[in-house]
Structure 1
């Protein structure tokens, strides 16, 4: 495991979800705590990876994920 990211358990993994920011629905594939540091300042964010109907994955903040339906 890299020190740049780590997988995080989530109750909606592999379930249909909606990104409330965009309204797009898909399957939650992973939640990853990523180190997005720049200029030596450490900064971590939790990103949700959602696979849409097209098969392409996109990211959003975990706080934007809700169950679909």
Structure 2
């Protein structure tokens, strides 16, 4: 069995979510810190908005448990 999480920039961050952008990506576990960092880069964590504020917080919105045999 494996687990996948859907990671998004955190709404309380008052940035991506409040700009109307719902971005995120499914992440299959187990994973590595390097792969998770790549996911964060793809969804904009660490980048800055028009005012120079970084998108730095994220949260998990959904998860799935999968049977790898199917």
Ranked by relative contact order (alpha carbons within 8 Å, sequence separation 6 or more), the top structure is 2
Interval containing the TM-score (normalised by the shorter chain) = under 0.3
Structure with the largest fraction of strand: 1
Structure with the largest fraction of helix: 2
TM-score by length of 1: 0.27
